[in-house]
Structure 1
Amino acid sequence: MPGLIRFRWIAIFCLTLGIIPLIHWNLLQKRDIFYFIAVLALLATFNVLSQGLWPREDHARQKHTLVHLWVDLLAAAGLLFVSGSANNPFVSILCIHSFLGGMLLRQRASYLFGASVLLLLGLLQLETYFDARVTVGSDVSDLGLGFLSQWLLITASWFVSHYFSGLLQKNEMRIRLLQDRQHQADRLKSLGALTAGFSHQLATPMNSLKLRMERGLRKLSSEETTAREELEKAKTSLDECVQVFQHMASVFSRSSQAELHTVEIQKLTEDLLKVWEKENEGVVIEKHFMTEPLSCRLQVLAFSNTFFDLLNNALEASPAGSKIYVRLFKKDSWILLEVTDLGEGLSEETLSRLGEPFVTTKVDGNGLGIYSAMMMAQAAGGEFKIFNNTSGRGATAQIRLPIEEA
């Protein structure tokens, strides 16, 4: 909006200076000077009133921009009607309006404004045509080529700006998506480092406490059964805490220190799936694998653990007797592995925070499996995400990995 207002001030200044040349070339009659100046004054008033009045919402901003462009277009058309219509050399100013409409407006608003420019151009050309018919010695057949060139020029201005505006919008969305992913990756790494340090600091005193409890149990006599039972329960709970911290430390160290190896992804995935099917007999797996052998670089152990975790998650989320779908396919320069269940899916709040430690839908889960999957995919130059199925049933976990060229 500020750019449009500044541009309008420049246009008002240039049109004011152009009054004398227009009179000199007989494109503006002296009786129409007052009308010409009045239109410029109204345009300047609109410019002053528009200062600072622009909304923040994108939808409202589009409407606001369309109104501003329409005001400019009507003012330009009104000035052209009294200064030669389509014969005025400044009729090319409609190309600027067409270009701005294609660049600043989106979708229907852009098409609507483009049609408005062509409609006013047609009215200007009709005015010129009727004036030429009543003018002695003028040849209306000479107007056709000039009118056609004006239509082509204005249409091309709108099309080019509209096309490149769409490209810029796509690139902007892509950059914003990459920034969001990078922000999420940085946040997860920070959380991982904080949680790893926290688990390391607590592991040592908890191990010491575990040893002291074991010594205390050995010193208790066989008659003190009540105290022994309480200490046994406390020791069991402490063992669970120690296991959680050890698992956390192993996840964070594995996601940051493991080396990348080139593997044939189809063979590795099929071997892992066979191992999982043996351990989970009776589960129906429907797989769709590509036939083309492709390789990628990844952390084999981290990938294997992630794949098993995804299959286990799908099994837990699926209703009894339903299938689990595993797809492995190529898309552009990426390999995509998807595990799909037919469960209840995930809430929007859970999806927005997946990957953060202790964000999980499981009663006894800790969310570290998703964190490990994200770090594994990022270490390989890929991406991990989970989304609800479009059918409304279940969710899909997707690992995207770059293809390793031979």
Structure 2
Amino acid sequence: MPGLIRFRWIAIVSLLLGTIPLLKWGYLDKRHFPYIIAVLTLLAILNVLAHSIWPKQEDYGQKQVLVHLWVDLLAASGLLFVSGSADNPFVSILCIHSFLGGMLLRKKASYVFGASVLLLLTLLQYETWLDSQKTVGIDFSELSLRFLSQWVLITASWFVSHYFSSLLARKEKRIRLLQDRQHQADRLKALGALTAGFSHQLATPMNSLKLRMERGLRKLPDESSGAREEFEKAQSSLDECVRVFQHMASVFSRSSQSELQRVELPVLVKDLIGVWEKENPGIVVESHLTIDSLWCRLQTLAFSQTLFDLLDNALEASPAQSPLYVRLFQEDTWAVLEVVDKGSGISAEILSRLGEPFVTGKEAGNGLGIYSAQMMAQASGGDFVITNNVSGKGVTSRIRLPLEEK
């Protein structure tokens, strides 16, 4: 909006200066000069009000910008109506309005403003055509060609600015998305490094504690069944702590140290599903894998573990005898792998934090499988998301990896 206000001041000054040659060359009737001054004065007042109001506004929406552009367009069209209409050489000022509309407005608002510019241009041309009917010796073919060129220029101005504005908007959205992913990746890596450090520092005392508990358990008399049961529970809890730390450290190690290998994804996924089905007899996995050759560069071990974890999660979430679904397909320059179940879904609160260690919707889970999937995908240049299915039943785990040339 500040840029639009500055542009309006420039336009007001330019129009004031432009009236001098128009009066001199006869394009502007002296009787219309007060009308022009009145229009420019109203524009100046609008500019002053907009400048005083704008700092108080947090953000101007598309509607406010559209209204300001319409005011400028109507003012310019009004000035053209009293100074030669489409026969005025300054009719090209509509190109600037068209360009601004395509650049500053988005989607429906941009199309509406572009159509408004063309409508006013048509009215100006119609006014000029009516005046030409009263003039002798007018070459109507030349007039039609001039009208057509005006349409082409204004339409091209809007189209070019609208196209590049949309392109810049997509690039800006992509940059924000990459920044968010980088922030999330940095946070997860920091958590992984912290956990790996904890695991290293606590390994010795925890192993020592485990040995002492085993020694104490052996020294307990046989008749101390209650104390022995408590010792066994404590030892089980300690073993679980050791496993969690080891898992977290291994996840960080795999995602930061493993080398990327070039693999044909459909072949790898098919083989991994076959291995998982052998380890889980009786479970039906409906695979819908593309027949195209999709090559990706990824960490094979980390990817394999991730797919197994996602299938395990889907199996735990699904009702008994319910099949699991695996889809692999190409989407633009990405290979997309989806694991779908028909469970009860995930609450919005848990879904918004999935991927953080120890955040999970399972009673006995620790969230490290999802954390591992995110680290694997990001290390390969892709992303990983989990969403509830539109049907309301189950979730879809989606891994997206960049494709390489064959």
Normalised by the length of structure 2, the TM-score is: 0.91
Alpha-carbon displacement from aligned partner over 1:251-275 (angstroms, at most 9, x marks no partner): 2222222233333433332232222
1:375 alignment counterpart: 375
* Equivalent in the alignment of 2:138: 139
Q: Which moved more, 1:1-10 or 1:235-244?
A: 235-244
Cα distance 1:85–1:247, how it changes in 2: closer, same or farther (>3 A)? same
Helix, strand or coil: the match of 1:51? helix
- Give the secondary-structure state (helix, strand or coil) at the position aligned to 2:352: helix
Distance (Å, rounded) in 2 between the aligned partners of 1:300 and 1:129 = 72
Higher mean C-alpha displacement, 194-203 vs 219-228: 219-228
Q: List per-residue Cα deviations over 1:184-216 (Å, max 9, x = no partner).
A: 211211121122223333333222222232333
Residue 46 of structure 1 and its aligned partner are, at CA, apart by 0.3
CA distance in structure 2 between the aligned counterparts of 1:236 and 1:154, rounded to whole angstroms: 77
Aligned to 1:236: 236
Tell me the distance in 1 between the aligned counterparts of 2:146 and 2:404: 57
1:83 is aligned to 83
**Equivalence for 1:194:** 194
Q: Given the superposition, is the C-alpha separation of residues 223 and 352 from structure 1 closer, same or farther in structure 2, using an over 3 Å criterion?
A: closer
Q: Contact 1:264–1:296 (CA<8 Å) still a contact in 2?
A: yes
Please give the residue correspondences for 1:22-33 in structure 2 after superposition, counting only pairs within 5 Å: 22-33=22-33
Provide the C-alpha distance between the structure 1 equivalents of 2:247 and 2:108, rounded to a whole number of angstroms.
Answer: 54
Alignment of 1:15-26 (within 5 A): 15-26=15-26
Alignment of 1:308-347 (within 5 A): 308-347=308-347
Following the alignment from structure 1 to structure 2, what is the Cα–Cα distance between the partners of residues 67 and 186?
A: 43
Match of 1:122 in 2: 122
**Which deviates more, 344-353 or 165-174?**
344-353
What SS does the corresponding residue of 1:111 show, helix, strand or coil? Answer: helix
Map Cα deviations across residues 69-97 of structure 1 (whole Å, 9 max, x no partner): 01101111111122222221111101111
Question: Do the aligned partners of 1:102 and 1:165 also contact (CA within 8 Å) in 2?
Answer: yes
Q: Is the 8 A contact 1:310 1:397 kept in 2?
A: yes
The total of aligned residue pairs comes to 403
Which one is further off, 12-21 or 329-338? Answer: 329-338
**Which position in structure 2 is the counterpart of 1:391?**
391
RMSD of the alignment, in Å? 2.2
Cα displacement string for residues 130-152 of structure 1 (whole angstroms, at most 9, x for unaligned residues): 333345x4526253222222222
Counterpart residue number, 1:182: 182
Q: 1:350 aligned to 2:345?
A: no
Contact 2:336 2:399 in 1 (8 A): yes
Per the alignment, residue 112 of structure 1 pairs with 112
CA contact (8 A) 1:132 1:140 kept: no
Counterpart residue identity of residue 21, structure 2: P
Counterpart code for 1:339:
V
Matching residue of 2:154: 154
- Distance in 2 between the 1:232 and 1:156 partners? 79
Q: Percent identity?
A: 71
Closer, same or farther in 2 for the Cα pair 1:5/1:329, shift >3 Å? same
Structure 2 match to 1:165:
165
Which residue matches 1:268?
268
CA shift in 2, pair 1:209/1:98, >3 Å = same
Aligned counterparts of 1:128 and 1:296: Cα–Cα separation in 2: 63
Q: Distance in 1 between matches of 2:185 and 2:316?
A: 27
Deviates more, 1:313-322 or 1:233-242: 233-242
Q: Which residue of 2 aligns with 1:298?
A: 298
Which stretch of the first structure deviates more once superposed, 292-301 or 394-403? 292-301
Query: Once the 2 structures are TM-superposed, how far is the Cα of residue 176 of structure 1 from its aligned partner?
Result: 1.9
- Kindly state the Cα deviation for residue 366 of structure 1 after the two structures are TM-superposed: 0.9
Normalising by structure 1, report the TM-score. Answer: 0.91
Greater Cα offset, 213-222 or 304-313: 213-222
State how 1:50-61 maps to structure 2 within 5 Å: 50-51=50-51, 53-54=53-54, 55-56=57-58, 61=61
